[in-house]
Amino acid sequence: MIIHVRLATINDADVLSSLNFKFNGGDKRPVTEIVESLKSCNELVAVATLSDEVIGFACAQSFKSFCYKDAYGEITEMYVEEAARRKGVATSLLSFLEEQLSLRGVKTIKVLTGSDNEAAINTYVRSNYIVDDEVMLNKKLK
């Protein structure tokens, strides 16, 4: 099984919409919105393919702030089709995004995932991420 990872293109918008729906639920994101986001956003979107079929995706962003000397990155989303799990797909996506973020000058990457998502946490720990005691807070604005 040879997994290929690359940056997503607008041609991937339909499959990204479907995979995101499986991952996040809710309303399915319109393909036109995904195309616009891929064209205009600073976000890195990687897709993993097997035999030219997209089987997973991951997203990352890089940030610069006057508060810190170096840019930092964040892995914001990752999803792999259930049938393709435990085959190195997530690790391949993660490695690819780390390389892309490094090219942007990123020295530190943060990952936020559910505290009960043991499979994801184990994947990140195997890739040398360190679990810390930071707390994430959320607020919905009106």
Contacts of 64 (CB under 8 A, 6+ apart): 71
Q: Give residue-wise pLDDT tens across range 23-67.
A: 988 888 999 999 999 988 789 999 999 998 999 999 999 999 898
Q: Is the pLDDT of residue 134 over 90?
A: no
Q: Going by DSSP bridges, is the β-strand pair 53-63/106-111 parallel, antiparallel, or unpaired?
A: unpaired
pLDDT confidence of residue 26: 86
Q: Give residue-wise pLDDT tens across range 109-132.
A: 999 888 899 999 999 999 999 998
Mean pLDDT of the 87-105 span: 95
Q: Is the pLDDT of residue 17 over 90?
A: yes
Domain ranges of the chain: 3-126
Confidence of residue 135 (pLDDT cuts 50, 70, 90): confident
Which pTM value belongs to this model?
Answer: 0.90
Q: Is the dihedral of CA 9, 13, 14, 19 positive or negative?
A: positive
Q: Is the dihedral of CA 87, 93, 96, 98 positive or negative?
A: negative
Task: Tell me the CATH architecture of domain 3-126.
Answer: 3-Layer(aba) Sandwich (3.40)
Give the C-alpha separation, 10 to 103, whole Å. 22
